[in-house]
Structure 1
Amino acid sequence: MPTIDDRTAPATGAVRGRAARAGVPTIPLPRDSARATVATSARSRAGATVPAAASTGVADLLRGPVRPARVLLSVPAAVYLEVRTDRGPDVVGVLTSDAARLPLACVLSRPSNGRALVSVPSGSPAQVGAGRIVVGDLVVSAAAWWDPRPRLPSARPALLPEGVRELRGALYGDPVMPSSFALAGLPAGPSGPLAALRGAVRRADLDAALRTAIRLVGLGPGLTPAGDDVLAGIVAGLVLLGHPDAERFGAGVHALATGRTTELSRSLLRHASAGRVSGEFAAVVRALVGDGALAPALRTLLATGSTSGRALALGLATAIDFSERGARAR
């Protein structure tokens, strides 16, 4: 490594490193330009590296080269970063242990403490890559990995009938599929998008559902609008249940989301199209195939966020309805 003496001496071999050879202490300098010096100083000001369990859904981002990012939001339980990639913007999150376990996140071992996870405003610069996330004074490393796609017994798993009835009963108050349903924050009534979606289900018409999706994308407040959460639940449910048109439907929804919703929500729709879901959603799906108790898993999912958990559950129930009716039609 070059030293101050190396940098300031003439470029002749006879005089380079005289201080070092004379036994005078020298200060190592980076080989690159002053930009590298600034970067090194910034890293030294950051806190100690914090280990986290990272979703394999963001393995490419974390293991890839260091990329610039910007803060979308920092709250007590999470910080979300938008990362620019060759395929467009992507999102990665750092979450505390008591946050919903999203498929694009690195999860810390500690719960939130009531203060913002990182004290930086939206738009602040960050870095993602080489196994780390650096934002403000927080440095997170991927110390372990978890798979956000639930392990199911087959590509087209059979669901427990009593579990499906319990899911429908919790959502609709009736174990039989209703003619319509409502969700806070979304238009209700016979002309609303949810009613149109139920009509598509009754006809087992996934193309009609995709046409209805344009009315749901971005509908509702927040970083993950309720309309998007419903669609994410449908997409992920169709994929995990092995519906033959799941890939086409998921690609169509993701394409509709471009420019119509938040980057966080768009990224979650992309993960849903690969069957990657939150830990809470995955627990319900596993329970529906007999792996775990459904009642506590369903309570946890429904309690997620103000509308997100219920919207995701509605989407899952809709995917089940599509799969059942499609199977009867075939």
Structure 2
Amino acid sequence: MTLGTRTRAHTPAHIEAFGAASASLRAALDAPKRPARVLAVFPLGVYLEVRTDVEPSVLALITGEATRLPNAVLLADPLPRAAVGDEAAVGDGGIEIGRVTVRVRRWWDPAPPLGTVALERLAGVLPRFDEVCAASPRRPGLNPGGCPALLAQGCADGSLVSAITAAEQLMGLGPGLTPSGDDMLAGVLVALRRLGEAAGVDRAVWLADWLAATVAFDARTRTTPISATLLHHAAQGEACADAVTVLRAVTGNHPLGPAVRRLLQLGHTSGADLAWGLRTGVAAVVALGEKARAGA
């Protein structure tokens, strides 16, 4: 009697996956391996929290359909299977999660150069920016009055006290993994730094530096780990790809309307919150630049 045999399929003991990463993660990935844990799992992304005292402490593994965040690794392969609380590791050139090790094959810049821009260009963009936002049903998660209004006025006036007071009040304000107050503040931080540099408005960059110091000191204790990391990136002028496209549109490198409308679709209110922050930052750079010209 001939006995039949069945070949048993063996699951590989270890799998390598590959992706492209934000250049802001290079130091964390090249450092010695450190333990991490799965912080959150979504259909388009897995968030890992690294056990470290420095930022970025949270990084995201994402698919091509997800928003490209400044702390993300964009995978060419499917997301690793993971559950909240799973152990992971980051460093020694890769990310380990379960049986998967992710290696980075290329890098992208989360703060690409904008070139130079005239104040007149920025001032001329504001009405169109307002028009596109007003035509959309998407609205910020917070009433633009109160803390947001104080931040906007403080930045336009170049008032360090008002701007920092408002920033401290906004951090962590609102529900969700990235509260609306954080997204609004992130948009302002990115616009002040990037457009201040592009337009040569030193006061805007100075203000961004001080707000960045406030974020570095307070964010970890005032908001969620994911949002604290994104605020850290914003303080360095780094943003998600959709926000960067809006900045490039503001400086004349892309059509403004489609860029703003795409940003507004992000998340429940995150896109509208970021758009409010970017628009507020543009207005502040214009106001501070005009004051500098007038010798005020």
Q: Which has the larger radius of gyration?
A: 1
Matched residues in 2 for 1:69 and 1:63: separation?
15
**What displacement does 1:85 show?**
2.6
**What displacement does 1:273 show?**
1.2
Higher helix residue share: 2
Matched residues in 2 for 1:322 and 1:66: separation?
42
**Number of the residue aligned with 1:310:** 272
Matched residues in 2 for 1:268 and 1:201: separation?
20
Amino acid at match of 2:288: G
**What displacement does 1:86 show?**
4.8
How many positions carry a matched residue from both structures?
A: 272
1:285-313 CA deviation, whole Å, 9 max, x = no partner?
11111112222221211111111111111
**Number of the residue aligned with 1:13:** none
Amino acid at match of 1:232: A
1:148, 1:276 within 8 Å by CA — same for their partners in 2? yes
* Equivalent residue in structure 2 for 1:45, among 1, 5, 13: 13
CA RMSD of aligned residues (A): 2.5
Amino acid at match of 2:219: A
**What displacement does 1:161 show?**
4.2
Residues 189 and 72 from structure 1, CA distance in 2 versus in 1: closer, same or farther, beyond 3 angstroms?
A: closer
1:108 and 2:60 aligned: no
1:238-257 CA deviation, whole Å, 9 max, x = no partner?
11022232211221133221
The unaligned stretches of length 5 or more in structure 2 are 1-11, 197-203
**Number of the residue aligned with 1:219:** 173
Higher RCO, Cα 8 Å, sep 6+: 2
**Number of the residue aligned with 2:91:** 129
Question: Kindly, what percent of the aligned residue pairs are identical?
Answer: 38
2:172, 2:224 within 8 Å by CA — same for their partners in 1? yes
**What displacement does 1:189 show?**
7.6
**Number of the residue aligned with 1:244:** 205
Residues 157 and 133 from structure 1, CA distance in 2 versus in 1: closer, same or farther, beyond 3 angstroms?
A: farther
Residues 88 and 101 from structure 1, CA distance in 2 versus in 1: closer, same or farther, beyond 3 angstroms?
A: closer
Q: Secondary structure in 1 aligned to 2:18?
A: strand
**Number of the residue aligned with 2:189:** 235
1:150, 1:286 within 8 Å by CA — same for their partners in 2? no
1:74, 1:119 within 8 Å by CA — same for their partners in 2? no
1:231, 1:253 within 8 Å by CA — same for their partners in 2? no
1:256-307 CA deviation, whole Å, 9 max, x = no partner?
2121101111111111111111111111111111112222221211111111
1:79-110 CA deviation, whole Å, 9 max, x = no partner?
01011235377111111111111000101236
* Equivalent residue in structure 2 for 1:143, among 75, 81, 105: 105
* Equivalent residue in structure 2 for 1:119, among 66, 70, 81: 81
Matched residues in 2 for 1:264 and 1:108: separation?
19
> So what's the TM-score if we normalise by structure 1?
0.75
Residues 86 and 250 from structure 1, CA distance in 2 versus in 1: closer, same or farther, beyond 3 angstroms?
A: closer
Residues 281 and 86 from structure 1, CA distance in 2 versus in 1: closer, same or farther, beyond 3 angstroms?
A: same
**Number of the residue aligned with 2:239:** 277
> So what's the TM-score if we normalise by structure 2?
0.83
Matched residues in 2 for 1:235 and 1:304: separation?
19
Matched residues in 2 for 1:98 and 1:149: separation?
20
Residues 264 and 45 from structure 1, CA distance in 2 versus in 1: closer, same or farther, beyond 3 angstroms?
A: same
**Number of the residue aligned with 1:323:** 285
2:126, 2:283 within 8 Å by CA — same for their partners in 1? no
Matched residues in 2 for 1:157 and 1:82: separation?
41
**What displacement does 1:203 show?**
3.9
**What displacement does 1:50 show?**
1.6
Q: Secondary structure in 2 aligned to 1:54?
A: strand
Residues 164 and 185 from structure 1, CA distance in 2 versus in 1: closer, same or farther, beyond 3 angstroms?
A: closer
**Number of the residue aligned with 2:54:** 87
1:73, 1:79 within 8 Å by CA — same for their partners in 2? yes
1:50, 1:141 within 8 Å by CA — same for their partners in 2? yes
Amino acid at match of 2:205: P
1:64 and 2:31 aligned: yes
Matched residues in 1 for 2:98 and 2:135: separation?
47
Matched residues in 2 for 1:87 and 1:195: separation?
31
**Number of the residue aligned with 1:32:** none
1:301, 1:313 within 8 Å by CA — same for their partners in 2? yes
